Amino acid sequence: MLNQGIGSWPARRARKTPHRVAVVHEDRTWTYRELHERVVRLAHALRTLGVARGDRVAYLGPNHPAFLETLFATGALGAVFVPLNTRLPAPELAYNLADSGSTVLVHGPEQAPAARAAADEAGTRHRIALAGPEEAEALGYEELLAGAGTGPLDERVAPEDPCMIMYTSGTTGRPKGAVLSHANITWNSVNVLVDTELSGDEVTLVVAPLFHTAGLNMTCLPTLLKGGRVVLLGSFDAERVLDVIEELRVTYMFAVPTMYDAMAARPRFASADLSSLRTLNCGGAPVPGRTIAAYLDRGLAFSQGYGMTEASPGILFLDREQASAKAGSAGVPHFFTDTRVVLGDGSDAAAGDPGEILVHGPHVMTGYWERPDDTAAALTEDGWLHTGDVARLDAEGYAYIVDRVKDMFVSGGENVYPAEVEAALLTHPDIAECAVVGVPDPVWGEVGRAVVVLKPGAHADEANILGRLHGRLAKYKIPKSLTVTADLPRTASGKIIKPAVRERYATDAAERTRP
């Protein structure tokens, strides 16, 4: 085949294991042959809309077979896939569409209002609605496939060609698009296959959002590459997940700690039939000891990891055999991954000393979409990626994440960058300055806390200030609490000292929010 990218995977699987089930969604199943046939039809349909090599096609919707069909069809044309976060409001979606220059947006029925507003603002030429056109401007997904061609497609696509743009919030307040090549995605999948020992009879439950790199690249795509089946759930419900594990004999799944905690909190958890599970992968946030213990009591252990979108995302991995002995560790590098922990002068940190994690490997992004300065800041000349996270290594080389170079915190598996939230807060007419920090939360791991200085004579309260953020920011980015102060700690040059803000306000907040 001329196509060496992931757009060729359905065709390659269809010739190798055509009758195996590839995808399960609700009460329907698709074999690899059926998946391939639908991908070909969609690729022809996209081509009739003018999609050509290098063009961008966006997708907005929950986990659904159409997500995968759009990804593969886009790759079959040599175009670039842009998954969008369904939790973002229309203005943020419009920015991602405009920044990527997406010419087509495929979306689910529930996302229609946001999709319409975002596409109009961004000037996206075509919208394709999964449930059929409910208005004149949208094309019907199934109608397009039914009328599309079925002839073979084999565009020349090289491993180094761009495959997808995954947006990750930036510290400057605007998202950046990490460009992942076909080789990046493939090598990440190979790392997963080696380190988690996935097999061809795998039944993988995909309940984490596919628009996130872990849900897509750590679970779904490696399973399809191996020829297993993926079970797609459109949303997380702890009771439903337990049902699906029992009914479909799920062998592998990924979730963030809050999901696993919700499952363990169900009354039936102690008696649920979990005997089919071979691998539980957990990431997105540190795994609490109580969570590990709850699953160990059921005879199950977590494979934990650390990664980031820019690395497709796998960087470190702690297999289940070490889950207890190395509790709290993010593990060691994936098989085809190299890492360093470095001090400020670029030298390697000694065991036990904290330093920034650098990562190198064939899965590290090619750069940020149309952001050469940001790319140069993130990637060294010889291809090492600055993660912005601080870790220490123990004597055996296991890494422990201890801090962040940047101010980002993780809330329920979602990265929250304070600069973006602070920029939104500063649009309030009564706020003179502000800082946002993460504070401990028993459910979400961390949530935002806003510390604001009001303008002279202003009297805005918490409800008024935070209420204005709804519709401007995704819900998980909106701080859960706020305090008003007379001033913020600053350096001599006038910069806000974030560590001092955390020490003064986050500790106090944590004391008050402890159960």
CA dihedral 114, 116, 122, 126 (to 10 degrees): 130
Q: Which of the residue ranges 105-109, 413-417, 453-457, 458-462 would you say has the lowest mean pLDDT? A: 413-417
Closest CA to 361 of 309, 307, 317, 315: 315
pTM: 0.85
Closest C-alpha among 381, 401, 382, 380 to residue 391: 401
Distances (CA, A) of 136 to 51, 128, 132, 140: 21, 11, 11, 10
Give the residue range(s) of CATH 3.30.300.30 domains in the chain: 409-513
Identify which has the larger pLDDT, 333 or 409.
Answer: 333
In angstroms, the CA 192 to CA 336 distance is: 10
What pLDDT shows up at residue 403?
A: 64
What pLDDT was estimated at residue 31?
98
- CA dist 128 and 189 (Å) reads 29
Q: What is the pLDDT of residue 510?
A: 39
C-alpha 414/C-alpha 167 separation (Å) is: 12
Of 445 and 185, more confident: 185
Separation CA 88–CA 107 (nearest Å): 14
The CATH fold of domain 1-15+29-158: Rossmann fold (3.40.50)
Q: Please give the Cα distance from 127 to 57 (Å, whole number).
A: 10
Asked if residues 23 and 46 have their Cβ atoms less than 8 Å apart, the reply is no
According to CATH, where is 3.40.50.980 located in the chain?
1-15+29-158
Output the six-digit token pair for 262: 């919700």
Q: Show the DSSP H helices in 307-417 as ranges.
A: 372-378
CATH of 409-513 given 3.30.300.30, 3.40.50.1970, 2.40.50.140, 3.40.630.30: 3.30.300.30
411 contacts 451 by C-beta, under 8 angstroms: no
Q: Cβ(276)–Cβ(250) under 8 Å?
A: yes
- Residue 18 per-residue DSSP state: T
Higher pLDDT, residue 140 or 491: 140
What distance, in Å, lies between the first and last C-alpha atoms of the chain? 59
Q: Are 20 and 36 in contact (CB under 8 A)?
A: no
Do the strands 332-333 and 314-318 form a parallel or antiparallel pair, or are they unpaired? antiparallel
Q: Is the pLDDT of residue 172 over 60?
A: no
Looking at residue 415, the DSSP 8-state letter turns out to be E
Q: What is the mean pLDDT of the chain?
A: 92
Helix (H, G, I), strand (E, B) or coil at 253: strand
pLDDT the model gives residue 423: 82
Structure tokens at 217: 């690249």
Percent of the chain with pLDDT over 70: 94
User: At 345, is the secondary structure helix, strand, or coil?
Assistant: coil
For residue 17, report the phi and psi dihedrals to the nearest 5 degrees.
Answer: -135, 65
514 pLDDT tier (thresholds 50, 70, 90): very low
Where is average pLDDT lowest: 75-84, 106-115, 448-457, 499-508? 499-508
Q: How far apart are CA 451 and CA 474, in angstroms?
A: 19
Would the pLDDT of 133 be above 90?
Answer: no
Burial class for 117, CB neighbours closer than 10 Å (0-12, 13-18, 19+): middle
Residue type, 199: S
pLDDT band of residue 438 (cuts 50, 70, 90) is very high
- Angstrom distance (rounded) from CA 493 to CA 495: 6
Rounded to whole angstroms, how far apart are CA atoms 416 and 70? Answer: 28
Position 515 scores a pLDDT of 33
